[in-house]
């Protein structure tokens, strides 16, 4: 019998099940406000516009309001991937009157004008998952943008692999699938379970080439797991398992998924910011797909991460009680961060760890405490949330009859102190576009 991941959570942890249901309700109520009906697309972000010098006062204060900014093809595609799991009437409510398949067709029509490989790959992935008849057109655009042997950003390379794995049952993609798979597996430094920010030298300055982010881990491990699920590939599954085991081992004491890693050593460089989407959506999405493919079960780590959303310890004791979830406004605030100018902590630690892996520069933790909140919300956060919790829960994958159990992390302690990453802590440097999805 198949059940959803959300339903499974009800038996594992009823209070967290209530939290997940609450977040899903926020997602469904918030997404329509992020949809631009005149352009049939989603915005890039919905952010609080605040009076100068005044923080927002939640709820009734008319002095601040939410406003939409920009548009995003990739965020629209991720939203389609999640919304397809809703009943049809609720798909239409979220997607401007369209079903997920119809909306994906509108995205496919935009592909001739995009030059971004990641955007095209996500649209192709959505076309494969919704069974859209224009899947071939989407795959052709991905192929046209993915030519040559040059480096790719790891996140985008992973999305290419996920799209091709999703399409392989209905389209002839095997040669391209094999090439995309090998590109990801070759990208790792010898002996490291983590993935770099780019698949090969040339895209990232040498001084920060060792720095990768959380997205650089979860999307490759998800893609490799989905590849194995679509057709046996023990090497791909082993790589996904190793990556997942490492990021789970590094998870913060209050369930934080840390942001920047040393791809050479597998250590944390800089933990902050902690992004809401990592806690409630991206980590669950990737780790659930891994378990479904026959990999290790990291359900305890997923639950620890989700629990962070209910009350980040970083904000405790700061003199203000600021929630990350705003039910009435249909948003979850994007992240908790240090508030350092020009992301100085990340830049300093990225530079320091290039010659000295594990360098900490501990004084920065005392000067820049992670107590700032980024008051914006992006539609892909809700798209991945729907994908993570509404997808059917499967077991066994293509190879293993049952998921292998991972070591159970300790229970979330929830002290009011600001936690720090538990490993050789020190960050990646600037220039990582935080909107890689």
Q: How many CB atoms lie within 10 A of CB 361?
A: 17
pLDDT in tens, 268-302: 988 889 999 999 999 999 999 999 999 999 999 99
Query: For residue 169, what pLDDT is reported?
Result: 95
Query: For residue 410, what pLDDT is reported?
Result: 36
Does residue 63 register a pLDDT over 50? yes
Q: Evaluate whether residue 367 is within a structural domain.
A: yes
84 compared with 422, residue with greater pLDDT = 84
| φ, ψ (nearest 5 deg) of residue 402 | -145, 150
62 compared with 244, residue with greater pLDDT = 244
| Range with the poorest average pLDDT among 32-46, 240-254, 275-289, 408-422 | 408-422
Q: Evaluate whether residue 16 is within a structural domain.
A: yes
Does residue 110 register a pLDDT over 50? yes
Q: Evaluate whether residue 432 is within a structural domain.
A: no
Q: How far apart are CA 215 and CA 248, in angstroms?
A: 14
Q: How far apart are CA 338 and CA 323, in angstroms?
A: 17
Q: How far apart are CA 164 and CA 18, in angstroms?
A: 35
How many distinct structural domains can be found in the chain?
Answer: 1
Query: For residue 57, what pLDDT is reported?
Result: 46
Both structure tokens of 297: 């079960």
Query: For residue 412, what pLDDT is reported?
Result: 36
Q: How far apart are CA 407 and CA 83, in angstroms?
A: 33
Across the chain, what does the average pLDDT equal? 86
Q: Evaluate whether residue 182 is within a structural domain.
A: yes
Q: Which residue has the tokens 């339903």?
A: 7
CATH code, domain with 112: 1.50.10.10
Does residue 250 register a pLDDT over 70? yes
Query: For residue 429, what pLDDT is reported?
Result: 33
Query: For residue 372, what pLDDT is reported?
Result: 86
pLDDT in tens, 326-364: 999 999 999 997 766 556 555 555 555 655 566 554 555
* pTM to 2 decimal places: 0.87
Q: Evaluate whether residue 127 is within a structural domain.
A: yes
340 compared with 241, residue with greater pLDDT = 241
Number of residues written out for the chain:
437
Secondary structure of the chain in HEC code, one letter for each residue: CCEEHHHHHHHHCHHHHHHHHHHHHHHHHHHHHHEECCCCEECCEEEEECCCCCCCCCCCCCCCEEEEECCCHHHHHHHHHHHCCCCHHHHHHHCCCCCHHHHHHHHHHHHHHCCCHHHHHHHHHHHHHHCCCCHHHHHHHHHHHCCCCCCCEHHHHHHHHHHHHHHCCCCCCHHHHHHHHHHHHHCCCCCCCCCCCECCCCCCCHHHCCEEECHHHHHHHHHHHHHHHHCCCHHHHHHHHHHHHHHHHCCCCCCCCCCEEECCCCEEEECCCEEHHHHHHHHHHHHHHHHHCCCCECHHHHHHHHHHCCCCHHHCCCCCCCCCEECCCCEECCEEECCCHHHHHHHHHHHHHCCCCCCCCCHHHHHCCCCEEECEECHHHHHHHHHHHHCEECCCCCCCCCCCECCCCCCCCCCCCCCCCCCCCCCCCCCCCCCCC
Range among 45-54, 100-109, 339-348 rated most confident: 100-109
Find, among 296, 263, 295, 258, the residue nearest to 279 by Cα. 258
354 compared with 430, residue with greater pLDDT = 354
pLDDT in tens, 119-147: 999 999 999 999 999 999 999 999 999 99
Q: How far apart are CA 402 and CA 42, in angstroms?
A: 39
Q: Evaluate whether residue 211 is within a structural domain.
A: yes
Query: For residue 60, what pLDDT is reported?
Result: 37
pLDDT in tens, 368-427: 566 789 999 999 999 999 999 999 988 655 543 334 444 443 343 333 344 444 433 333
Q: How far apart are CA 1 and CA 147, in angstroms?
A: 43
Q: Evaluate whether residue 194 is within a structural domain.
A: yes
Q: Evaluate whether residue 204 is within a structural domain.
A: yes
Query: For residue 52, what pLDDT is reported?
Result: 60
Once rounded to an integer, what is the mean pLDDT over residues 317-329? 82
Query: For residue 324, what pLDDT is reported?
Result: 94
Percent share of the chain, pLDDT over 90: 71
Report residue 437's pLDDT band, with 50, 70 and 90 as the boundaries. Answer: low
Domain interval for residue 266: 3-51+67-393
Q: How far apart are CA 154 and CA 196, in angstroms?
A: 7
Once rounded to an integer, what is the mean pLDDT over residues 164-186? 97
Both structure tokens of 111: 């592909």
């Amino acid at each position: 019998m198949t059940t959803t991941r959300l339903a499974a959570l009800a038996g594992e942890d009823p209070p967290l099940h209530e939290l997940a249901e609450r977040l899903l309700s926020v997602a469904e109520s918030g997404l329509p406000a992020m949809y631009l009906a005149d352009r049939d697309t989603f915005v890039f972000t919905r952010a609080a516009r605040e009076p100068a010098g005044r923080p927002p006062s939640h709820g009734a204060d008319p002095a601040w309001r939410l406003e939409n900014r920009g548009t995003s093809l990739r965020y629209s595609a991720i939203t389609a991937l999640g919304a397809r799991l809703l009943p049809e009437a609720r798909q239409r409510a979220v997607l401007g009157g369209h079903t997920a398949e119809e909306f994906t067709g509108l995205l496919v029509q935009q592909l001739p004008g995009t030059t971004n490989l990641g955007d095209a790959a996500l649209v192709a992935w959505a076309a494969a998952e919704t069974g859209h008849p224009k899947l071939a057109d989407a795959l052709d655009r991905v192929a046209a943008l993915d030519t040559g042997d040059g480096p790719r950003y790891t996140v985008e390379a992973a999305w290419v692999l996920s799209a091709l794995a999703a399409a392989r049952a209905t389209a002839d993609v095997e040669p391209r699938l094999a090439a995309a798979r090998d590109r990801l597996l070759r990208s790792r430094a010898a002996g490291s379970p983590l993935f770099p920010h780019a698949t090969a030298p040339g895209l990232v300055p040498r001084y920060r080439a060792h720095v990768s982010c959380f997205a650089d881990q979860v999307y490759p491990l998800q893609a490799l797991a989905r590849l194995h699920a679509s057709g046996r590939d023990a090497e791909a599954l082993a790589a996904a398992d190793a990556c997942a085991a490492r990021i789970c081992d590094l998870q913060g004491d209050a369930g934080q998924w840390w942001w920047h890693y040393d791809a050479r050593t597998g250590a944390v460089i800089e933990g902050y910011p902690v992004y809401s989407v990592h806690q409630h959506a991206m980590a669950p999405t990737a780790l659930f797909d891994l378990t479904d493919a026959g990999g290790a079960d990291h359900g305890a780590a997923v639950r620890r991460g989700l629990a962070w959303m209910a009350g980040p310890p970083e904000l405790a004791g700061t003199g203000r009680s600021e929630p990350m979830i705003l039910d009435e406004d249909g948003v979850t605030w994007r992240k908790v961060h240090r508030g350092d100018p020009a992301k100085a902590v990340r830049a300093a630690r990225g530079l320091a760890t290039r010659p000295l892996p594990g360098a900490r520069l501990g004084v920065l933790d005392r000067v820049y405490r992670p107590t700032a909140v980024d008051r914006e919300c992006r539609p892909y956060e809700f798209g991945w949330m729907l994908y993570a919790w509404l997808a059917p829960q499967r077991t066994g994958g293509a190879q293993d009859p049952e998921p292998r159990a991972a070591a159970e992390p300790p229970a979330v302690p929830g002290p009011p102190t600001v936690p720090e990453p538990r490993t050789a802590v020190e960050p990646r440097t600037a220039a990582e576009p935080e909107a890689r999805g």
